[in-house]
């Protein structure tokens, strides 16, 4: 039996293709000793809309449960990502922001990782960020922040207070927002006729190709493709005018939307659409095959960890990512298989991972002493982390990866 839901973009029928089962909130790190009954669980499952092909979650978690004062994800925790966003900001300065007194709005500015560069360059800007803790960090860095969820009413208020935006930007945020109609109506109202809405999010094509199933968790509601974004934009008087593939977070695409007819779509749009057709990304058979690969990774990973435990080898997790909640809860990996996870985020340290309750410890624990194996939950930061942890390798340590399949390096 397949389950159905209503598409949050076009109201078409969404057909389920994979059920991850009961899952906790991926960023809700548990205080040791807290009452288990307070932990929130929901059914994590993905489906595809038969009309617009948008891949999305079958169930939605209320936004206030995920994004609040204590939201623990701080974007600036990765040096690589700081460089990535600095590059984008500098490019905007010489392209979209060369007019008179330009104005930039960022949705989900988090701790100000991107806007910091534009603020320092004296550009008129506003970050819209509902998670109070990270918004305070951005404000302390000299960024103008509004603590709010962006939606149609917020867009109208910003337009009244500050005028039209030349650039609206959102990184790893649009895919977090199920109420897409309100967002795109707001974007259309806030955007100048010559403006552009840029957003970058994990790309479904990369998720399928790499079987990076851990990109699927409560906060990631949508999994975009050029095709689904093109259809989505058209419903709101906007047009997909450019796409750019990005290497960050395991493969993303940066989409550019402009008011319909205002800009000529680049050749890259047609190229990516053709590639998606050729790879049959939005076809049920492709999605079923993905599900089979996820099941194999689950079996292989548990078998490997069980074997290592039996052989008396020590294992530690590296990076208490939101993504890892899907892996540990799908596979049933708890402290018996992975005694602790090392993470550089102070707000996560001393807490337990959601659902399977693995203690999170500061990076000092990782080298005291080094484990035999490190399960790299933050595989999207592999380059940065492996460069930083060369002493672990030198001491004979090995990395366990589970994307695109379970392997040891």
Please identify which residue in 5, 13, 39, 51 interacts with Zn ion, judged by CB under 5 A.
51
Closest to ligand SAH by CB, 239 vs 252, is: 252
The interface region with ligand SAH, picked from 48-56, 171-179, 229-237, 323-331 by CB under 6 A, is 171-179
Residues comprising the chain, all counted: 409
CA distance readout (Å), 27 to 16, 87, 170, 324, 355? 24, 28, 20, 10, 11
The interface region with ligand SAH, picked from 30-38, 48-56, 107-115, 285-293 by CB under 6 A, is 107-115
Residues 327-356 that bind ligand TYD (CB under 6 A): 343-345, 348
Do 138 and 118 form a contact (C-beta atoms < 8 A)? Answer: no
User: 403: closest CA among 371, 375, 373?
Assistant: 375
Supply 21's token pair. 């089962």
x/- mask, Zn ion, residues 53-72, rule CB under 5 A, reads -x------------------
- Binding-site size for ligand SAH (CB under 6 A) equals 20
Q: Report the C-alpha gap between 306 and 333 in whole angstroms.
A: 10
Q: State in angstroms the smallest separation of the CB of 388 from ligand TYD.
A: 6
Q: State in angstroms the smallest separation of the CB of 209 from ligand TYD.
A: 18
Q: What does the DSSP 8-state code read for residue 99?
A: S
Q: State in angstroms the smallest separation of the CB of 184 from ligand SAH.
A: 12
Q: State in angstroms the smallest separation of the CB of 321 from ligand TYD.
A: 3
Residue 380 interaction partner, one of ligand SAH, ligand TYD, Zn ion, none, beta carbon < 5-8 Å per kind: ligand TYD
Residue 77 interaction partner, one of ligand SAH, ligand TYD, Zn ion, none, beta carbon < 5-8 Å per kind: ligand TYD
Q: What sign for the dihedral angle of Cα 122, 125, 127, 132? A: positive
Residue 202 touches ligand SAH, criterion: CB under 6 A: no
User: 269: closest CA among 216, 223, 230, 318?
Assistant: 230
Supply 182's token pair. 């309100």
Supply 294's token pair. 């996820």
Q: Which residues contact 343 (CB under 8 A, 6 or more apart)?
A: 319, 320, 349, 360, 361, 362, 363
Partner residues linked to 126 by β-bridges:
105
Residue 380 touches ligand TYD, criterion: CB under 6 A: yes
User: 249: closest CA among 70, 78, 55, 56?
Assistant: 78
Residue ranges binding ligand SAH (CB under 6 A) = 67, 71, 73, 75, 107-108, 110, 113, 128-131, 134, 149-150, 171-173, 176-177
Residue ranges binding Zn ion (CB under 5 A) = 7, 9-10, 12, 49, 51-52, 54
Residue ranges binding ligand TYD (CB under 6 A) = 73, 77-78, 319-323, 343-345, 348, 378, 380-381, 384-385, 388
């Amino acid at each position: 039996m397949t389950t159905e839901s209503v598409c949050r973009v076009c109201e078409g029928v969404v057909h389920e293709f994979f059920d991850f089962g009961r899952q906790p909130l991926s960023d809700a790190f548990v205080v040791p000793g807290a009452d288990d009954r307070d932990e929130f669980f929901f059914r994590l499952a993905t489906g595809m809309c038969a009309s617009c092909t948008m891949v999305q979650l079958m169930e939605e978690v209320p936004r206030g449960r995920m994004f609040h004062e204590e939201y623990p994800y701080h974007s600036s925790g990765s040096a690589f990502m700081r460089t990535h966003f600095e590059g984008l900001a500098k490019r905007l300065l010489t392209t979209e922001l060369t007019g008179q007194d330009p104005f930039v709005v960022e949705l989900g500015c988090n701790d100000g990782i991107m806007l910091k560069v534009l603020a320092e360059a004296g550009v008129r800007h506003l970050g819209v960020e509902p998670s109070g803790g990270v918004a305070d960090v951005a404000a302390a860095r000299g960024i103008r922040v509004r603590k709010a969820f962006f939606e149609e009413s917020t867009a109208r208020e910003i337009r009244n207070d500050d005028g039209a935006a030349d650039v609206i930007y959102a990184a790893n945020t649009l895919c977090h927002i199920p109420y897409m109609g309100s967002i795109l109506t707001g974007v259309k109202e806030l955007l100048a006729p010559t403006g552009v809405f840029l957003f970058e999010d994990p790309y479904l094509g990369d998720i399928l190709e790499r079987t990076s199933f851990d990109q699927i968790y409560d906060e990631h509601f949508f999994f975009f493709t050029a095709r689904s974004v093109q259809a989505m934009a058209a419903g709101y008087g906007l047009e997909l005018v450019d796409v750019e593939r990005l290497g960050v977070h395991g493969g993303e695409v940066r989409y550019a939307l402009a008011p319909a007819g205002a800009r000529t779509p680049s050749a890259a749009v047609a190229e990516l659409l053709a590639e998606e057709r050729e790879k049959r990304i939005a076809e049920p058979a492709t999605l079923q095959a993905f599900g089979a690969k996820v099941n194999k990774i689950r079996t292989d990973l548990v078998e490997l960890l069980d074997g290592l435990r039996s052989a008396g080898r020590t294992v530690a997790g590296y990076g208490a990512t939101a993504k890892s909640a899907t892996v540990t809860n799908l596979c049933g990996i708890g402290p018996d298989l992975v005694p602790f996870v090392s993470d550089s985020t102070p707000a996560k340290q001393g807490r337990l991972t959601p659902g399977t309750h693995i203690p999170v410890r500061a990076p000092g624990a990782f080298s005291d002493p080094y484990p035999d194996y490190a399960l790299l939950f933050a595989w999207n930061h592999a380059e940065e982390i492996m460069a930083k942890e060369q002493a672990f390798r030198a001491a004979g340590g090995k990395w366990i990866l589970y994307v695109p399949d379970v392997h040891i390096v």
